[in-house]
């Protein structure tokens, strides 16, 4: 019962973090600090199980790779926390969460495509699914929602330094990846609570 409560508590923390990420693109450190508590409890309860340790290691490697490739610290920390949740064999927890969270991708792409209709930015067919055409006024209203230009490390990107001259801007925009991870995690929670061979039940 304690383990199930910790799994759900971690989901609540991820939901709070993703909500703040959607609204402001910034997350208070105390949210992840709270998330470390159920994560630590899950690691303590499951550490004797080899497949659990493998699943945890997969998430930590993925978190490191994400940060190396330029993802924000929040996404990497969330991936590491997700790894503390017990896997549903034969898949590591991170695989389940990533695959389940991808259900948002087609919905997101359709949303972006519809939002670009009638806008004057020149974009390829692919860019109409990955970028958004916004006015200069809209960009300045909430610049942290958009990424203009080529950015390899989002942690080093500061939109306040940009000098925007064009009236219409082609920017990268999307639902924060943390939201994808959170949706995927809650689908994992449903699978886990349905009793599909949690790792702690494997001899």
Contacts of 118 (CB under 8 A, 6+ apart): none
- The pLDDT of residue 52 is 94
- The pLDDT of residue 154 is 65
Helices (H) and strands (E) in the chain, counts: 9, 2
Looking at the predicted structure, is the pLDDT value of residue 40 above 60?
Answer: yes
Supply 86's token pair.
């017990």
The helix/strand/coil state of 15 is helix
Q: What percent of the chain has pLDDT over 70?
A: 90
Average model confidence (pLDDT) across the chain? 85
Lowest mean pLDDT among 14-18, 98-102, 129-133: 129-133
Looking at the predicted structure, is the pLDDT value of residue 19 above 70?
Answer: yes
Length of the chain: 203
Q: What are phi and psi of 82, to 5 degrees?
A: -60, -35
DSSP state of 155: G
Encode pLDDT of 54-89 as tens digits. 999 999 999 999 888 767 788 899 999 999 999 988
Tell me, rounded to whole angstroms, the distance of Cα 126 from its chain centroid.
22
Looking at the predicted structure, is the pLDDT value of residue 153 above 60?
Answer: yes
Tell me, rounded to whole angstroms, the distance of Cα 92 from its chain centroid.
17
| Distance (Å, whole) CA 32 – CA 78 | 8
Encode pLDDT of 159-178 as tens digits. 667 777 788 988 876 567 88
The pTM (predicted TM-score) of the whole model is 0.77
Nearest to 174 by CA among 86, 119, 110, 124: 110
């Amino acid at each position: 019962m304690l383990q199930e409560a910790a799994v759900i508590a971690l989901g609540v923390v991820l939901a709070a973090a993703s909500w703040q990420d959607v609204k402001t693109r910034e997350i208070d450190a105390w949210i992840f600090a709270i998330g470390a508590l159920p994560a630590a409890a899950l690691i303590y309860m499951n550490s004797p199980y080899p497949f659990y340790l493998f699943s945890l290691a997969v998430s930590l490697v993925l978190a490191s790779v994400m940060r190396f490739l330029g993802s924000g610290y929040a996404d990497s920390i969330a991936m590491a926390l997700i790894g503390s949740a017990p896997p549903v064999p034969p898949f590591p927890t991170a695989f389940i969460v990533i695959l389940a969270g991808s259900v948002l991708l087609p919905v997101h792409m359709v949303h972006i495509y519809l939002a670009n209709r009638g806008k004057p930015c020149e974009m390829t067919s692919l860019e109409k699914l990955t970028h958004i055409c916004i006015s200069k006024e809209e960009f300045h209203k909430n610049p942290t929602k958009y990424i203009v230009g080529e950015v390899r490390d989002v942690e080093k990107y500061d939109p306040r330094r940009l000098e925007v001259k064009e009236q219409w801007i082609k920017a990268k925009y999307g639902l924060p990846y943390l939201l994808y991870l959170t949706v995927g995690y809650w689908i994992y929670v449903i699978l886990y609570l349905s009793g599909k061979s949690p790792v702690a039940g494997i001899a």
